[in-house]
Amino acid sequence: MTTFAPLLSARLSLTPKATLVGLLDGAWWPRSRDLAVELPALADALEGHYGRITRVTVNPTHWPVVPRKVSATGHTVHVGWFTEQDPDKMILLSYSVGRCDLLVIPPETQPASAARLMTAAALPGSILTADVLMSDEAATERRTRNSRSGEDAWETEGGAAPPPLRHPVVGARMIALPGNPRR
């Protein structure tokens, strides 16, 4: 069993209490792939919403080591793994509230992508799975990279975007004066 005093709070986004129930209860963005280090801060952060977290299940695909037990503040969290479980999802169990399903955002994710994922996973009533959210975000990242590389190619091939107007006039109209041809 590993003992750890969390130095940083968990990066967590939870679905607000609502009548709409979705497939996910929010998202968690750990700082590393060390479950023994990351899990205590998550369990502490969830205690106010879900009660004391006693059990967690993960898919071992993204976790190099899955400890059987992890010490959290004042209690032990039992950890299990299932290869059938979505690798991008973590299931947390509590005696008082029940189950909490979280999208797990990889630690190396860029902040903009993580923010989009955390927002999407916390939408009340969402029917998107963790796998679908991660696939959609990967597609968004690819489109962003492709559009940037297209702009870079345009600039290096001699093309350039028009310079911005120095003093744009909002709402003005061009009116041709009689006898004064446009130049």
3 confidence band (pLDDT: 50, 70, 90):
very low
Q: Do 63 and 35 touch, CB atoms closer than 8 A?
A: yes
Per-residue pLDDT at 136 exceeds 80? yes
Beta-bridged to residue 94, according to DSSP, are 53, 98
| CA distance from start to end of the chain | 81
Predicted structure pTM score: 0.75
Max intra-chain CA distance, the chain? 91
- Read off the pLDDT band of 9 (50, 70, 90): confident
Mean pLDDT of the chain: 84
A 10 A CB-CB count for 105 gives 25
Query: Is a pLDDT exceeding 80 seen at residue 115?
Result: yes
Q: How far apart are CA 81 and CA 63, in angstroms?
A: 10
Q: Taking a C-beta distance cutoff of 8 angstroms, is the pair 58, 66 a contact?
A: yes
Q: Is the pLDDT of residue 31 over 70?
A: yes
Q: Determine the pLDDT at residue 146.
A: 84
Q: What is the pLDDT of residue 4?
A: 39
Residue 107 near residue 30 (C-beta atoms within 8 A) = yes
Nearest to 11 by CA among 36, 40, 34, 42: 42
Separation between Cα atoms, residue 136 and residue 25, nearest integer Å: 18
Nearest to 58 by CA among 91, 30, 96: 91
